[in-house]
Structure 1
Amino acid sequence: TLVKAGVYKDLDLCVAEALLRRPEDFAGVHTCTLNDSLSSIFGTIRKSQVHRLIVVDSGNKLKGIVSLSDIMRYLVGGSRETIVSEPLEQKIDHAEEGIQEAGAPPTSGDQEEKLEDEEEA
C-alpha cells in the first residue's frame, strides 16, 4: 500500500503515479458478491487483511462496497438496511434526477447522444 511505501504524505500524487508505485506484492482488489455468506466475507477480510470489499454482481459489475464496520453494525443489532443499502445504480439515478430537477444539464448517455447528433448536423 501507499502507507507501507511511505508515499502516504505525498498528497499531490495522481492516481496513475500511485498505481505505478504499488509494491510488487500488492494482491489487488478484493471482492465479494451479493450472494456470499457472512462467513465467506469474514474469511476474505481476515485473509486479505482489508477493511472493505468491493461488491460485484455475476458480471463483475460494481454494486457497492461493504466494510467491516457495516458488518459489525449489522451484527450488533442493525436491520438488513444497515448493511444492504439501495443498489448503487439507483442511487446514481436518483442523484442525476435531483441534478436535472435543479436545472443542471443531464449527465446520462442521452446527453452524449444529443451532442453526437449535433456534431453530425
Structure 2
Amino acid sequence: MLFHWLAIRNSIPVKEVLFRRNILPSSQSNLCIWCLEDTETVNHLLLHCKWSFNVWAELFSWWNLNWVMPGSIEEFSFKWFFGMGIKASKFWKVIGPATIWAIWLARNDLFSMGSSLVVRF
C-alpha cells in the first residue's frame, strides 16, 4: 500500500519524475519503456500505456466487468475503493494496488534488462 500511496503522490521514479528532479540526463529519452509513444508518467505507465491497459483489461475480463479507466491514478484509486458499484470485499480492495505493484515490478524488470527492449502489442 505504501507504493500505491507514493504513486498517488506522483513520487515513484518514472522517467518524467527523474527528469524533473534532474536525475536523468536530458540526452536520455523520457518515453515509456513499453510503448515508446508517450512520456513515462505515473498515469501513463500504470494505467494508460497499451501494455498496462491490457493487464487491466484482462483483470476486468476475469470478473466480467466493464470499466472506463480513469484519467489519473488518484481518481483510479478513489473509484477502485469507493465507486465501482459493487460491494468491494477486502480481497477486491487488494487487487488494484497489487496489480499496480505488479506492473511496476514488470517495468523494472524490463528496465534492468536494457531500455532498448520494447514489448509491442
Query: Same fold judged by TM-score > 0.5?
Result: no
TM (norm. structure 2) is: 0.25
Q: Which has the higher helix share?
A: 2
Which is strand-richer, 1 or 2?
Answer: 1
TM-score, length-scaled by structure 1: 0.25
